[in-house]
């Protein structure tokens, strides 16, 4: 009898434990849903706090709930550039906002064009008579690009500013493949189509070196010009001329070096900075030392709903790698994006279409699906304007060809008109282990491509011919769109990438400007008066799981992000390993011909794998906090 009572008590304990766990998860989900949406009532007198703990992007990627729950790496937050821009615009007009605070301590970067657009908004805030204060322990190039526009720049005494400029090394795998007995079969068109060089060379080609050096120099000059215009007293040239000597002369004190060269205005830790801001805008409501009265961008946006005056001008964002099939935000899936555009065209009130492109390209077939959907708008006599953000290269340029007008920023990376395909074979690698292949063929192409037995010369000829045909298709589409001959496009094609300013001179884009300029041009073409229209952003609605996870994820993940210079250096090392993993995935995972610019991602400030950092299981961290 005593045994049965013990068993019963054990079963009751299990039942009570499961019930308690269920209640904890239920209230956690309820909290996440409530916190996922912004609160318009949270706007108060004080500062607009723009806390960038992650990346700035054109379209934040959707969180895969299953992968995120199972992963040991927490998703890193992404901030939509247009939301940040609009919140800064509202800060100019809202009398409750007395100042803007840029918390860049854990800012991981963004595309140079996106950051330049934010810089213009920060300038507008200052022009309206409202101060802008920036703080970070250490400023990267991207962080300093934003901070340079502030009224006052603070840096932690243990941190500093050390501009490095774009560039660096790529990893080449030819020697490794030779040792392993792996052969990468490369099919490409374009003298400058260097995306596949890591699989066929041990170093960069002279053509790639010339092209990339010219691009790096132009993009870097744009950065330096913007910083010098925003902060004329900063002595960048002296620091960049011989950074090691300058640091040694300062006895390794990067913060004092930044102060002496006019890169920052004040030295102080986060608490000192917070107290300084509190003296300007008011004390914070919580008891944390260094808190100040603040409003978050999401609350300000919620308090000022978007305009609905006049007919809509559609804005569709094509962001991320262009892939076949379906996908959520942050990836340009051919089926999903084209269906989104076709669905929007059913709206009879739509007066024009603006296509915001921020993509290094990808699948040729998916690019063509998206291009055909955009071309359908033109067929219906709807004006189409393309606005290039940080990247509109290769497939990103392919989908831009139907536009009536193409806008680009000076630092936009575009062009890369070229096609490639890559297939690995492992015959020699298998032979080292005594594995061979044999069989019977009915035609020259039976069993091809034979990844294990070796891809035949006949298949190589066929694949190269199809890639060359794809390149001719690319040239023809560009020539028709840009009113040039195929020969003229080929002269600026060949896979070479260009910065926006040079692309305009070459006739690949029409005008320099941002999204606002593209919207104004679309309104003009639609014969709409200023103020008599509103932008209608055509985007997939977030699913329930992503919305829920967005409320659960952020805090544990952000706590582990680096702030000092050495931490950031370690983070860059991690990203380098991510790039190697991406290179190897490309070798075995590409399906179909590619119009993709792999070398563009590092220049545009877009990480290979956005949104993942090392932690203990993030779900365990969150659950432990809840318990």
**Pair 416, 193: CB distance under 8 Å:** yes
Q: Rounded CA gap, 273 and 251, in Å?
A: 25
Assigned token pair, 84: 């940040």
**Pair 54, 77: CB distance under 8 Å:** yes
List, in order, residues 6 or more apart from 195 with CB less than 8 Å away: 420, 495, 594, 596, 597, 598, 599
Element (H, E) at 100: strand 97-103
**Strand order through the sheet with 266-267:** 266-267, 152-161, 132-139, 97-103, 46-51, 294-295
Element (H, E) at 354: strand 352-359
CA contacts within 13 A on the Cβ side of 424: 20
**Pair 57, 331: CB distance under 8 Å:** no
Strand partners, 512: 408
**Catalytic: which of 394, 400, 481, 520?**
394
N- to C-terminal Cα separation, the chain: 36
**Catalytic: which of 130, 183, 193, 484?**
193
Q: Rounded CA gap, 13 and 22, in Å?
A: 14
Cβ count near 150 (within 10 Å): 26
Q: Is 160 helix (H, G, I), strand (E, B) or coil?
A: strand
**Pair 475, 417: CB distance under 8 Å:** yes
**Pair 61, 330: CB distance under 8 Å:** yes
**Measuring CA to CA, how many Å separate 80 from each of 309, 431, 451, 511, 606?**
23, 51, 42, 24, 13
Q: Rounded CA gap, 541 and 223, in Å?
A: 35
Q: Is 127 a catalytic residue?
A: no
Assigned token pair, 240: 């960049």
DSSP string computed for 111-156:
-HHHHHHHHHHHHHHHHTT--EEEEEEEE-HHHHHHHTTSSEEEEE
Q: Rounded CA gap, 146 and 58, in Å?
A: 16
CA 234 from chain centre, in angstroms, equals 28
Q: Is 363 a catalytic residue?
A: no
**Pair 477, 401: CB distance under 8 Å:** yes
Give all strands (DSSP E) within 17-64, no chain letters.
46-51, 54-57
Q: Rounded CA gap, 196 and 190, in Å?
A: 11
Least Cα distance to 194 among 415, 456, 426 occurs for 415
**Residues designated catalytic:** 193, 394
């Amino acid at each position: 009898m005593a045994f049965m009572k013990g068993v019963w008590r054990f079963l009751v304990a299990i039942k009570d434990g499961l019930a308690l766990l269920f209640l904890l998860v239920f209230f956690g989900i309820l909290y996440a849903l409530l916190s996922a949406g912004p609160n318009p009532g949270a706007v108060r007198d004080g500062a607009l706090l723009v806390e960038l703990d992650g990346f700035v992007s054109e379209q934040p990627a959707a969180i895969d709930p299953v992968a995120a729950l199972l992963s040991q790496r927490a998703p890193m937050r992404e901030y939509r550039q247009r939301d940040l821009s609009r919140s800064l615009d509202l800060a100019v007009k809202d009398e409750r906002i007395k100042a803007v605070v840029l918390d860049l301590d854990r800012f991981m970067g963004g595309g140079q064009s996106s950051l330049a657009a934010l810089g213009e908004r920060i300038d507008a805030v200052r022009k309206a008579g409202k101060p802008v204060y920036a703080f970070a322990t250490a400023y990267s190039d991207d962080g300093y690009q934003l901070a340079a526009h502030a009224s006052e720049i603070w840096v932690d005494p243990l941190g500093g500013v050390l501009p490095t400029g774009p560039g660096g090394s790529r990893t080449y795998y030819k020697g490794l493949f030779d040792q392993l007995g792996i052969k990468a079969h490369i099919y490409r068109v374009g003298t400058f189509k260097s995306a596949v060089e890591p699989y066929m060379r041990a170093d960069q080609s002279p053509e790639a070196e010339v092209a990339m050096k010219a691009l790096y120099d132009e993009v870097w000059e744009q950065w330096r010009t913007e910083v010098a215009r925003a902060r004329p007293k900063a002595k960048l040239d002296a620091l960049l001329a011989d950074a090691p000597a300058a640091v040694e002369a300062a006895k390794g004190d990067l913060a004092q070096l930044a102060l002496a060269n006019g890169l920052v205005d004040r030295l102080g830790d986060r608490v000192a900075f917070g107290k300084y801001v509190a003296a300007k805008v008011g004390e914070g409501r919580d008891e944390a030392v260094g808190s100040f009265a603040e409003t978050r961008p999401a609350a300000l946006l919620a308090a000022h709903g978007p305009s609905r005056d006049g007919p809509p001008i559609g804005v569709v964002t094509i962001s991320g790698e262009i892939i076949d099939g379906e996908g959520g935000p942050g990836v340009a899936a051919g089926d999903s994006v084209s269906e989104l555009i076709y669905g929007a065209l059913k709206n009879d009130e739509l007066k024009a279409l603006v296509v915001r492109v921020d993509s290094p390209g990808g699948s040729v077939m998916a690019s063509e699906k998206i291009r055909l959907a955009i071309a359908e708008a033109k067929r219906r006599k709807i004006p189409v304007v393309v606005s290039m953000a940080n990247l509109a290269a290769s497939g990103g340029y392919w989908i831009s060809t139907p536009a009536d007008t193409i806008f680009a920023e000076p630092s936009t990376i575009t062009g890369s008109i070229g096609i490639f395909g890559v297939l690995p074979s492992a015959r020699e690698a298998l032979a080292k282990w005594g594995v061979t292949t044999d069989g019977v063929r009915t035609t020259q192409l039976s069993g091809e491509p034979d990844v294990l037995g070796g891809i035949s010369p006949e298949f190589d000829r066929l694949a190269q011919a199809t890639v060359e045909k794809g390149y001719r298709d690319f040239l023809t589409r560009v020539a028709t769109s840009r009113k040039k001959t195929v020969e003229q496009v080929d002269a600026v094609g060949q896979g070479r990438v260009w910065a926006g300013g040079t692309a305009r001179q070459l006739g690949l884009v029409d005008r320099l400007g941002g999204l606002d300029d593209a919207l104004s041009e679309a309104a003009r073409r639609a014969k709409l008066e200023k103020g008599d229209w509103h932008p209608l952003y055509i985007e997939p609605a977030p699913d329930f799981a992503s919305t829920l996870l967005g409320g659960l994820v952020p805090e544990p993940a952000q706590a582990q992000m680096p702030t000092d210079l050495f931490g950031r250096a370690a983070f860059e090392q991690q990203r380098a390993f991510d790039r190697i993993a991406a290179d190897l995935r490309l070798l075995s995972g590409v399906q179909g011909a590619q119009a993709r610019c792999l070398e563009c991602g590092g220049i545009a400030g877009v990480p290979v794998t956005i949104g993942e950092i090392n932690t203990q299981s993030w779900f365990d961290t969150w659950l432990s906090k809840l318990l």
